[in-house]
A and B are shown apart, each in its own frame.
Chain A
Amino acid sequence: MSDRDMMPGDGRPRGGAGLSRRRVLQGGLAALPALLGARILAGEGPAGAGTTARAAEPPTPPAHDPTAHDWAFVMDTTTCIGCGRCVEACKLENDVPAEPETNRTWVELHVLGRDGSVAVTSPDGGIGSFPAGEAAIPAEAVANAYFVPRTCMQCENPPCTWVCPVSATYVTPDGVVLVDEGRCIGCGYCLEACPYGARYMVPAGEQTPKGTAGVVDKCTFCYHRISRGKLPACAEVCPVNARIFGDRNDPASAVSVALTERRVRAMKPSLGTRPRVFYTGLEGEVE
């Protein structure tokens, strides 16, 4: 038996081994810059590249422990007056495009007729309030009417994160569903999956607050504000405290008190999405 016979593994592609190894090494060396570039583009580009307007100030993120909070919202339809200040504040705070159909938050008027009919209107998302004297149902036939502030439910079991083919949308430990705008490919699956219509595609010519175009944007609970101890902009400007925001880990917070003392319900609870946004005074038939 010769050496070659004794060592079949080593000698197998005897003639081509050197060439193959060289090719492999060359390929690897060529791939490394590509990998680095891909990492810069995908992982680190958006955070660092902050292409436009809103540079972070201070440049480092605020000291914020995402595991220490359990954010939740209670929307009080019994006090909401439908003024739409929240919608305007959200657009100003978060660079939400001015188009009336692109909203991170909006207000709906739900009019329930005595005959069981339901009319839901939201002209321009409710920004600048609702027109007077324009009732979808005659006043004498109205059983109930109230305003419903809408936003992303920040589901604990969100369908949008399931369907994202590139895992660009995710849930933070404190319970906010965010979009990694550097990874989002703008396919719009999450828009279809969301049972609450809470997401929008950034229109052509517009950008997210981070200066990204062609991606999906959504309510972040004003993540930059709540991680600094501030209220979301919509809750900050609400003139009747219809938007009660807070930390469920703090039993003294307004939202904990509201969840304990008020009768609340989630929207579309049968879907099992486990929303973090709750409603008082909401009637199930208008979902």
Chain B
Amino acid sequence: MPDPAPAHDPMPDPAPAHDPVPAHDPLPALAADASLDRPAGALDSAPAPHSAPAPDSAQVRLAGARRVLRRLRPTTRRGALRLGIAGAGLVALLGVGAVGIAIAVPWAYGEYGFHPERNAQSWAALTPRYADSTLCQRCHTAEFSPWQAAPHAVVTCESCHGPLGEHAATAPVPATDANVVVGALPGTIAEPRPDLCVVCHERIAGRPAAFPQVTLTEHYGGATCRACHDPHTATAATPPDISHPLAKLPACVVCHAPAGLKPLPAGHVESPDAVCRSCHRAAGPGD
């Protein structure tokens, strides 16, 4: 208990005249402590004029509690019985409450925050629709092998063919392969859309320049992509060179008309010569 210095009034005094340097006092908190401590310590010797009434009220409260306890203590057998019944009732109430909570609150409540973990499990339990390409090679070896070696190997089967998890799970497979579920209903693979190549390979703004792409209006537009291009190997069929001289001949389509000398092969449409010769090279040096 620091003895309050005479220069500092231990009691907080609003008058600044008593505190010589209120703003620059290095130990203002200490002085405040001293002022607070003083009444408590002063109780031993002489009651300070402004001593707090707290000890008295505490004693009063303690005495009140003792009185309540004394009153609760049963003095008769009947009173003891009642007290016991009341206690048992309280325990039973807590028990019912505990059972109620156990019923109302899921067991996993709180594991992931305020929700049952089984919700996350139910999300995880959904069945995938897309399988993965490794399943396809079990049957589709003719397409799978060249695809694996081609530039399109980065494009998975289902990227073009769509979700095939169900097909892979139900389609008949060679009997030796025990890992695949053999179902009764063979799935069917829908033919890819004729314009599917365009989705990736059409030249549009924003597409990385290094990616192979064509301007459709400048590319041969008379046939489907797959008339010339094999999507599995990602190679184009090599068009045959023109096997005859072109000098003094009319336009290609005059002879290569549907009813002409040598009709256009399937997948071709009648086009200007320039379009034909964008793929078919002329044979003679003079042409």
Decide yes or no whether B189 CB sits under 8 A from chain A: no
Is A220's CB under 8 angstroms from B159's CB? no
Is B100's CB under 8 angstroms from A130's CB? no
User: In the assembly, what is the distance between CA of A180 and CA of B108, in Å?
Assistant: 14
Q: Mark A39-76, 1 if CB is under 8 A from B, else 0.
A: 10001101100100011110111101010000000000
Is B200's CB under 8 angstroms from A209's CB? no
User: In the assembly, what is the distance between CA of A82 and CA of B211, in Å?
Assistant: 11
Decide yes or no whether A190 CB sits under 8 A from chain B: no
Given contacts A6-B75, A132-B202, A147-B206, contact A220 B123 (CB under 8 A): yes
The residue in chain A whose Cβ has the minimal distance to the Cβ of B96 is A28
Name the A residues within 8 Å of B202 (CB-CB): 129, 132
Decide yes or no whether B137 CB sits under 8 A from chain A: no
User: In the assembly, what is the distance between CA of A254 and CA of B171, in Å?
Assistant: 32
- The contact size tier of chain A is 35 or more
Decide yes or no whether B241 CB sits under 8 A from chain A: no
Partner among A79, A132, A135, A173 whose Cβ is within 8 Å of the Cβ of B208:
A79
State how many angstroms separate the Cβ of A40 from the closest Cβ of chain B: 10
Is A3's CB under 8 angstroms from B113's CB? no
Is A224's CB under 8 angstroms from B154's CB? no
Name the A residues within 8 Å of B114 (CB-CB): 167, 170
Is B118's CB under 8 angstroms from A9's CB? no
User: In the assembly, what is the distance between CA of A171 and CA of B119, in Å?
Assistant: 11
Decide yes or no whether B91 CB sits under 8 A from chain A: no
Is B74's CB under 8 angstroms from A7's CB? yes
User: In the assembly, what is the distance between CA of A237 and CA of B159, in Å?
Assistant: 4
State how many angstroms separate the Cβ of B197 from the closest Cβ of chain A: 10
Among B125-133, B246-254, B255-263, B268-276, which stretch is in contact with chain A?
B125-133
User: In the assembly, what is the distance between CA of A31 and CA of B83, in Å?
Assistant: 28
User: In the assembly, what is the distance between CA of A44 and CA of B207, in Å?
Assistant: 47
Specify which of A47, A60, A181, A182 lies most central, judged by the most chain B CB atoms within 10 Å of its CB: A47
Decide yes or no whether B199 CB sits under 8 A from chain A: yes
User: In the assembly, what is the distance between CA of A158 and CA of B154, in Å?
Assistant: 34
User: In the assembly, what is the distance between CA of A21 and CA of B216, in Å?
Assistant: 85
The residue in chain A whose Cβ has the minimal distance to the Cβ of B159 is A237
Is A135's CB under 8 angstroms from B124's CB? no
Specify which of B76, B118, B208, B211 lies most central, judged by the most chain A CB atoms within 10 Å of its CB: B208
Given contacts A32-B103, A209-B126, contact A236 B158 (CB under 8 A): yes
Is A172's CB under 8 angstroms from B112's CB? yes
Could you list which residues of chain A lie within 8 angstroms of chain B, going by C-beta atoms? 3, 6-10, 21, 28, 31-32, 35-36, 38-39, 43-44, 46-47, 50, 54-57, 59-62, 64, 66, 78-85, 89, 92-93, 109-111, 128-133, 135, 139, 142, 145-147, 161, 167-168, 170-173, 178, 180-183, 209-210, 220, 222-225, 227-228, 230-231, 233, 236-241
| 12 extra A-B contacts, CB within 8 A, seeds A92-B163, A111-B205 | A39-B103, A39-B104, A43-B116, A44-B116, A47-B119, A54-B126, A62-B124, A64-B124, A81-B211, A92-B129, A145-B206, A172-B120
